Chain A
Amino acid sequence: MIQFEQVSKVYSGGQKALLNVNFHLQKGEMAFLTGHSGAGKSTLLKLITVIERATAGKVSINGHDIAKVGVKHVPYLRRNIGMIFQNHHLLMDKSVFDNVALPLVIEGFSHGEIRKRVAAALDMVGLYGKERHIPIMLSGGEQQRVGIARAIVNKPPILLADEPTGNLDPKLSMDILRLFETFNDAGTTVLIATHDLGLIARMKYRTLTLRQGTMLGGEPSGAMTAGGV
């Protein structure tokens, strides 16, 4: 589903963020992406969502080389990827409903359909009944779950999470991870970037480790390399 072949990313300042990264995440797989801050986790996620473009190598999503996706088509590509951020990236002056509905409104769903899907997504993350709240009224964990609901509301085949448990206590973190497992069970490909090694250790999923821009454990594809660095 997500494939990196000899991918390097050098920022315009000369900073080498990624060097010859190879890995292949199968359809329906769930994996962790780990490494110290500055190891290139965020850059890797940005390459998948075309916020940045690779300097060298090939990034493919579902077999499509995304270097060939023009600027005009990037929005359509992003609709296939649900993204979850550490700082939630919510619209702070809009209600929970409006926040979660945003991808559907953009896609052009009818009002009735939007209500149905938003209700289902909020139910899934345990925020049913909080549609009218604005994010500021919610706790950090709840805000994160609003972000998750928004990421999954249009049922994307890929889910990316950048430090989704960064600000949460272990119990809440575990709840969030269980949530990702549910989506994964439903067939969604999930990639979670985190430096919370304790969390990873408790779950038996493949771990991709970045160290100073190079990847350890990327190959062999599909192998379960549970554990830490």
Chain B
Amino acid sequence: MSLTQSKLPLTGRIVMFFIRHLQQGTASLGELWRNPLSSFMTMAVLGVSLSLPAALQVLVKNAENITQSWNSAAEISLFINDGRSEQSIQSLISRIRVYSEVDSVSYISRSQALEEFQSLSGFGEALSYLDENPLPAVVTVTPLAKYSSPVGARQLLQKLEHEPEVNFGRLDVEWLERLQALVNLLERTVMAVGSLLMLAVVLVIGNTIRLAIMNRRTEIEIMKLVGATEAFIQRPFLYTGIWYGIIGGMLAWIIVNILVLFLDGALADLLGLYGSTISIQSLSFSELIQLVLLASFLGWLGSYLSVRQHLRKIEPS
């Protein structure tokens, strides 16, 4: 007789290990099903808690999308020195075209610039009194997306200003920087609020599991008396936590989708006024999976912390 070991053979134990996990996992789900009202209340709390960070994630994602579509805002205008021949300007353009940072280059000659100014500004009449064309030739450079960030575009601008034909360059980047700062702020807010709400999820599940443990105090004592290990006793509680997380995560996904549907029409109207056709992108399938995985991890963590703290205290007496 071996006192301190299981009596079953090793292979049997391994097989039973998996079967038991499966059984206890489904049993936990069944347990939740048997108390639908209280389980659903907990799940709803989790769903609402998780839906806020998920909704903020949708917001950040769409803000990023929109700022990316405003890439052309990072155009660099190069003003050419007066008196440069058309030929030297063309050679400048072909030199810039081979820059690895550059996506495209366009050229507005002095006469084109004048025509454009005349037609757009309303000063057409006044301009005709001038002896010569005061407008410089302009080369417009669009950097590749990789270099269109404020920092990247500014570096490119400095490089371009070293070209001898270039008088000076202009990068209207300030508002882009502000926008990016705003998006950064938004992202941080999402992280901070998200972390707090995830903590709330862990605490809610921890507390729910604590109550479940208290409710089953006698049962736990009896199980310890007849030789159940801690692992065996805690497993149903851990599975319960995971189930809470999974279902809470799915509820959050549903809530976010309803929110997006609700907002999409209004936003389309708003953006329509600005001549944009962007529509809100909701959470993708992979984001749903991530959300559910995260939620189930939080559920496990909450119940694990609770189980560790409370299960050990219950001893038969």
Contacts and interface: CB of A to CB of B under 8 A. Distances in A.
B1 A75 contact: no
Contact of A110 (B4, B16, B229, B232): B16
B316 to A, nearest CB: 5
Contact of B3 (A49, A64, A90, A102): A64
B286 interface: no
Interface string B213-252: 0000011011111111110100000000000000000000
Interface stretch (A77-85, A118-126, A163-171): A77-85
Given A106-B232, A157-B1, A49 B225 contact: yes
Contacts of B119: none
Contacts of B19: 110
B227 A78 contact: yes
Most A C-beta atoms less than 10 A away, residue of B1, B219, B317: B1
Contact of A108 (B1, B8, B226): B8
Contact of B228 (A61, A77, A106): A106
Chain B interface size band reads: 20 to 34
A108 B13 contact: yes
A108 B16 contact: yes
Interface in B1-30: 1, 3-8, 12-13, 16-17, 19-20
Interface in B107-127: none
Interface string A34-69: 000000000000000101000000000110100001
A178 interface: no
B4 A107 contact: no
Given A106-B232, A107-B7, A108-B8, A51 B317 contact: yes
B287 interface: no
B4 A73 contact: yes
Contacts of B6: 76, 79, 107-108
A91 B222 contact: yes
Contacts of B315: 51
27 contacts: A51-B225, A51-B315, A62-B1, A69-B3, A75-B227, A75-B228, A75-B230, A76-B4, A77-B4, A78-B225, A79-B226, A80-B3, A83-B225, A91-B218, A102-B222, A102-B223, A103-B227, A106-B227, A106-B228, A106-B229, A107-B8, A108-B6, A108-B12, A108-B16, A110-B12, A110-B16, A157-B1
